[in-house]
Amino acid sequence: MAVRTRILFVDDEPLVLQGLQRLLRNMRAEWDMVFVTSGAEGLEELARSPFDVVVADMRMPGMNGAEFLNRVMRLHPGTIRLVLSGQADSDLILQVEGAAHQFISKPCDPGILRTVIQAASEIGGRLRSEEIRRVLGGIAHLPVLPAAYQEILALLAIEATTVEDLGRVVQKDPGMTGNILKLVNSAYFGLRQRVSDPAEAVSFLGVDTLKSLALVHGIFSQVRALPQAFNGAHLWQHSLQLAAASREIARLEGLGRELEADCFTGGLLHDVGLLLLASGFPSEYHRIAGLLATSSMEILDAEMEVLGVHHGEAGAHLLGLWGLPGAVVEAVAHHHCPRPSIGMTPERVVHAAETLSTAVGDCKVFGVQRVWDPGTLEDAVGPRYEAWKLILDRLGEE
């Protein structure tokens, strides 16, 4: 018998809870749902039996949503925590930083609500959820879905949105503006004229690339201090190179625009779990760096020995909670170890780009460079080795 997903809804307004019950009635065959009207009741329910997902309102008397979710994070770190928030909740959202995996705006379209909860609950089925939840639950400041990414998605849902509208979102964040202008003017895009206007940059990059860049910039900007041995600048450059290479390989293989976008996003985000785990467990990554420097151990093996999880599955877990496309999530999860016989998918493309990159295994992030024998590389990548290697060689020179 399939395990049913258990979801707890917490809101002090009975009419809101009744509305949620009506909206989600058709999910009763898959979900066990409990509805309570206070944070105190919610904690009592959690103490009685575990829940996979908690969805909480922010403005509640007595114990507000921020306090409730922070307690859930401490007492039940493996529970996925979602916030239903209105515009007036911005002050409370600051208090819940790190305790919520995702924010859902009120009023919420029922289809969006179902999709978000389903994506959050299903990610555990693809990965070793209990161990990952345990490890990620120990990170005090887990990144939340970046606001700029959410704003771009909202604008793209409006038919009248222009590149100028999207450019204004970029301009709100000087760091993102700098990164996007730097990328569009880099050799990766080969433009003949210099671009200095964010709206013009958006028109050259395209909305798929813009969404991916907003997402990864938002994640990088939320990360706290990294271990001393960790080279964050290299990780950023490596991620950009892998994104460009993955898209070029997809284009060469004629995979089509949608899969090209998934390959780019998968390449750009493939190491988000490394950033996440290294910032959350600096002393453990000091040990991992030592293992990489003093042995032939690869990074996944070192992470498994020290933490019990590796950065591919940790990053995929976070992105799955945020509802990213399954192809992107799987590419991130398996970029070091693709599943056999998967066909020409973003998972295989990102793995090939990672294997062929000059920083094989991401060890250069810790100041270690692995040199692979060409024959071993060809065995790992497959019959398209020579054609794909030319792409990495060209990008490595840029």
Domains in the chain and their CATH numbers?
A: 5-126 (3.40.50.2300), 147-397 (1.10.3210.10)
Supply the DSSP symbol for 82.
E
**So what's the pLDDT on residue 120?**
66
Residue 8 banded pLDDT, cuts 50, 70, 90 = very high
Q: Which residue has the higher pLDDT, 36 or 364?
A: 36
Q: State pLDDT tens for residues 364-384.
A: 777 766 666 666 667 777 778
**So what's the pLDDT on residue 360?**
46
Query: What residues contact 288, with CB distance under 8 A and at least 6 apart?
Result: 299, 302, 303, 306, 307, 366
**So what's the pLDDT on residue 95?**
63
- Statement: residue 359 has pLDDT above 60: no
- Statement: residue 251 has pLDDT above 50: yes
- Statement: residue 392 has pLDDT above 60: yes
**So what's the pLDDT on residue 128?**
46
Q: Average pLDDT of the chain?
A: 81
**So what's the pLDDT on residue 303?**
92
* Mean pLDDT value of segment 303-332: 87
68-97 burial, b for 16+ CB within 10 Å, e for fewer? bbbbbbeebbbbbbbbbbeeebeebbeebe
Counts for the chain of helices (H) and strands (E), in that order: 21, 5
**So what's the pLDDT on residue 279?**
87
Task: Measure the CA–CA gap between 58 and 277, rounded to whole angstroms.
Answer: 28
Residue 204 banded pLDDT, cuts 50, 70, 90 = confident
Q: State pLDDT tens for residues 134-176.
A: 777 677 667 777 878 878 887 887 888 888 889 888 888 888 8
- Statement: residue 266 has pLDDT above 90: yes
- Statement: residue 181 has pLDDT above 60: yes
Q: Which residue has the higher pLDDT, 98 or 63?
A: 63
Task: Measure the CA–CA gap between 174 and 77, rounded to whole angstroms.
Answer: 34
Listed residue (256, 257, 253, 264) closest to 350, CA to CA = 264
* Mean pLDDT value of segment 297-318: 89
- Statement: residue 94 has pLDDT above 60: no
Q: Which amino acid appears at position 189 of this protein?
A: F
**So what's the pLDDT on residue 68?**
92
- What percentage of the chain has pLDDT greater than the value 90? 17
Q: Using alpha carbons, list the distances in angstroms from residue 142 to 98, 211, 321.
A: 5, 20, 12
Q: Are 117 and 81 in contact (CB under 8 A)?
A: no
- Statement: residue 40 has pLDDT above 90: yes
What count of other Cβ atoms lies within 10 Å of the Cβ of residue 181?
18
Residue 363 banded pLDDT, cuts 50, 70, 90 = low
Residue 89 banded pLDDT, cuts 50, 70, 90 = low
Residue 102 banded pLDDT, cuts 50, 70, 90 = confident
- Statement: residue 205 has pLDDT above 90: no
Task: Measure the CA–CA gap between 358 and 101, rounded to whole angstroms.
Answer: 34
Residue 361 banded pLDDT, cuts 50, 70, 90 = very low
Residue 320 banded pLDDT, cuts 50, 70, 90 = confident
- Cβ burial of 274 (10 Å; 0-12, 13-18, 19+) is buried
Q: Are 326 and 306 in contact (CB under 8 A)?
A: no
First to last CA, the chain: 54
**So what's the pLDDT on residue 78?**
72
* Mean pLDDT value of segment 325-354: 86
- Cβ burial of 348 (10 Å; 0-12, 13-18, 19+) is buried
- Statement: residue 255 has pLDDT above 80: yes
